[in-house]
Structure 1
Amino acid sequence: MTEKLNRFGMGASFVPAETLNEIDLGPLKQLVGEWESVVLTQTDEKGVSKPLASGWNVISVPGVPKFTFEVIPYKENLKFSTVAVHAGNRGPVLNGTQFDQEIFGLFYEQQIVSMCDTDFCNGRGFGKDTVIHAETGLLLYVSNINGGYNIARLGTIPHGNAILALGKSAQANNPGTDFFDVISALGVNLDGSIPAMLGYNDQISGIPQFAEFQQVHPNTFLKSTLDTIIGSGSVTDMTVLSMSTSHPDATGGILNIPFIQSNVTATSMDATFWIENISGGSEPEILQYSQTINLVFPSTGTVTPIIWPHITISTLKRMQPQPETNEPLTLSAQAQSNTPGVPQL
């Protein structure tokens, strides 16, 4: 594979696991390995404990007579390969000096599986144990000539989308647990105002589909999950990776195949990863993320485009390392047929 990459003159090569300590992955080094959903439980009024999802998806999709708001609890597996990639980009020669860029990065593979066993979920095509999302890509660490951004995410989704998100990393010591942004699942006009149609967002702001989950403001679940894991302990330090496809001073964006572009356009993505080291909690290290993808489509019978946030939030723990093999990176998720409610991204 390295020979195939080098044919294109980009100087791309693979860095094997045994030499990872010799390269500069920056903040991405903490991600190396495999992560899985944290196991949560809740106790009902009878004292009976049952599993509680630590991943949640909320999305509005076109429908008749109007949009349908879907809330899907999920579990996931997120793998950051222990084989890194190294690439060099040729730059200009200024005053006799060649300005080249060096990049190191990690392959990632994500698979999300529904934990929803309600009649609604089954009827929509994403009942329990159905794969509802698969994504592969690269997270890159750019340490020089980076335009102010040191993180890049390149992702591909089987629905027919590709993303390039740029961002920055940050460190924080003793951050507490109240650092999650407030985000909303309510639909808004293109200028950010609330649609004037009476009851337009009632389906979202009405009775929760799951009593344990605040569907209007999903990030509140991240905080309650973190508080549960910490208990009487604390977050000693964390790394924050913030990424977006929309920057006024940089490139980035989402590309869609024609069908998606003309029906439910994915216009932008904002995502934040928190890698948290914990002292005195039930887990020593967790990975939390919140991602919002703006989908634009008019409600049935109208021509006014509305921005509908597609939000996913999740809390994961590190899995025990598995023996290394020489097998190539493969996609473990299998496509599902007849699933009208599966998200665009």
Structure 2
Amino acid sequence: MAKIKNNPLASLSLSGLGSIEEQSVEKGQKLVARAEVAVSTPSLGPLTKLPGTWVGTGFNLIEIPNMNQAKPGPPPPDKFKIILNNTAETLTFSSIDGEIINRGNAQEDIAYLGLHYLQQVNDVNLPQGQNGIHLETGLFLNLPDGTDPQVKESVARLGSIPHGDSLLAQGSFFTVKGGPQFDVPPADPTPFFIVDGKRVNDTNPEYLRLLNEAVPPAGISKDVIMNPNNLLKEAIKGQNIIETIVILLDANPIEGVCNPGAISPTGGITNIPFINVNANATSLTAIFWIETVQNPDGSTFLQLQYTQTVILDFPVFGPPPTNPVVPISWPHISVATLRLKDN
């Protein structure tokens, strides 16, 4: 397993009592070894190829509010702004030595492995030192199946962002021969309302104008604004991808936005009060593709692509005469294509 030098988690044991095989629990006068209830040997599973440092480029699209509750009525055109970034990214996954053990009550203890991650994203068109747009740290966990609750094995992502957001996303994984599929679900930046739990796009011409008239940053084509996944397609054009590990992650899924099969309750996002009132982050959906790419000479390299949509709810005044405050949901979409650096 690859390790990162000077990783503060390298010697951390989250079990508290050493490995699961060495632990015992007293029941009356008898000591029962934990090994008797350990049903499988923990592994990183679909996360096995992630340890190391990944670097590459991508695109970020976010709509932000600009005091849109200043007065009743529909927000004027300048009350929302769109920020577009041509990005450079470093994503580092570090190994956590030892098993992570959760104590069972309704079922036996479970043990699993995980990775710590650190994500740093810059805008390539801004001056160095003034171009940082995103910082995130957290964990990826390879969780086993269970009997109570009855669940299939899955991947979980725990992340924290300095804006004041913490997320727990969880989902399934699988491996396919060949390359990824980028359009299920589509990366749609159109704002929407939630009606009966489902996405219904808002066709307000002022909102659509913000998207249609947006000028892409240098290095990004116009079509990427309305479908950021197009950048991922362009990045692998002509490549021979022989295998792809697909990881689906959702937090508080919304029908019409989330991955197929994601249902509530799954994960969630918790924010500081300022975020809750002004730009509430409510839902996340993401797909990670870990790709094995074959060169013409038969050699291979690893590539990581992802698409991620975070839903931000901005309160706006509804129509007169009552002008109720209602949330409108804006997708914040990020995509990137990264390659694993040689250690």
Superposed displacement of residue 23, structure 1: 5.3
- Residue aligned with 2:206, SS: coil
Which residue identity lines up with residue 141 of structure 1 in the other structure?
A: N
Q: Measure, in 1, the Cα distance between the counterparts of 2:177 and 2:47.
A: 18
Matched, 1:279 2:294: yes
Closer, same or farther: CA 10–295 of 1 in aligned 2, 3 Å: farther
Number of aligned positions between the proteins: 278
Closer, same or farther: CA 10–82 of 1 in aligned 2, 3 Å: closer
What RMSD, in angstroms, separates the aligned Cα atoms of the two structures? 2.8
Q: Measure, in 2, the Cα distance between the counterparts of 1:297 and 1:250.
A: 23
Superposed displacement of residue 102, structure 1: 1.2
Q: Please point out which of 159, 175, 178 is paired with 1:171.
A: 175
Contact 1:296 1:306 in 2 (8 A): yes
Q: Measure, in 2, the Cα distance between the counterparts of 1:179 and 1:59.
A: 20
Match of 1:49 in 2: none
User: What stretches of structure 1 of length at least 5 have no aligned partner?
Assistant: 13-21, 38-53, 322-345
User: Kindly, what percent of the aligned residue pairs are identical?
Assistant: 33
Matched, 1:315 2:334: no
Matched, 1:115 2:115: no
Closer, same or farther: CA 144–102 of 1 in aligned 2, 3 Å: farther
Q: Please point out which of 266, 271, 275 is paired with 1:260.
A: 275
Q: Which has the larger radius of gyration?
A: 2
Contact 1:286 1:315 in 2 (8 A): yes
Which residue identity lines up with residue 106 of structure 1 in the other structure?
A: L
Q: Please point out which of 54, 59, 74 is paired with 1:35.
A: 54
Match of 1:25 in 2: 44
- Residue aligned with 1:199, SS: helix
Normalised by the size of structure 2, how large is the TM-score? 0.73
Which residue identity lines up with residue 138 of structure 1 in the other structure?
A: L
Match of 1:138 in 2: 139
Closer, same or farther: CA 164–25 of 1 in aligned 2, 3 Å: same
Match of 1:237 in 2: 243
Q: Measure, in 2, the Cα distance between the counterparts of 1:85 and 1:154.
A: 19
Q: Measure, in 1, the Cα distance between the counterparts of 2:104 and 2:181.
A: 42
Superposed displacement of residue 58, structure 1: 0.2
Contact 1:278 1:285 in 2 (8 A): yes
Closer, same or farther: CA 3–209 of 1 in aligned 2, 3 Å: closer
Closer, same or farther: CA 148–168 of 1 in aligned 2, 3 Å: same
Closer, same or farther: CA 251–184 of 1 in aligned 2, 3 Å: closer
- Residue aligned with 1:237, SS: strand
Superposed displacement of residue 206, structure 1: 2.4
Q: Measure, in 1, the Cα distance between the counterparts of 2:215 and 2:182.
A: 24
User: What stretches of structure 2 of length at least 5 have no aligned partner?
Assistant: 1-8, 21-40, 68-77, 253-261
Matched, 1:295 2:293: no
Q: Measure, in 2, the Cα distance between the counterparts of 1:61 and 1:10.
A: 47
Superposed displacement of residue 189, structure 1: 1.6
Contact 2:112 2:141 in 1 (8 A): yes
Q: Measure, in 1, the Cα distance between the counterparts of 2:84 and 2:110.
A: 43
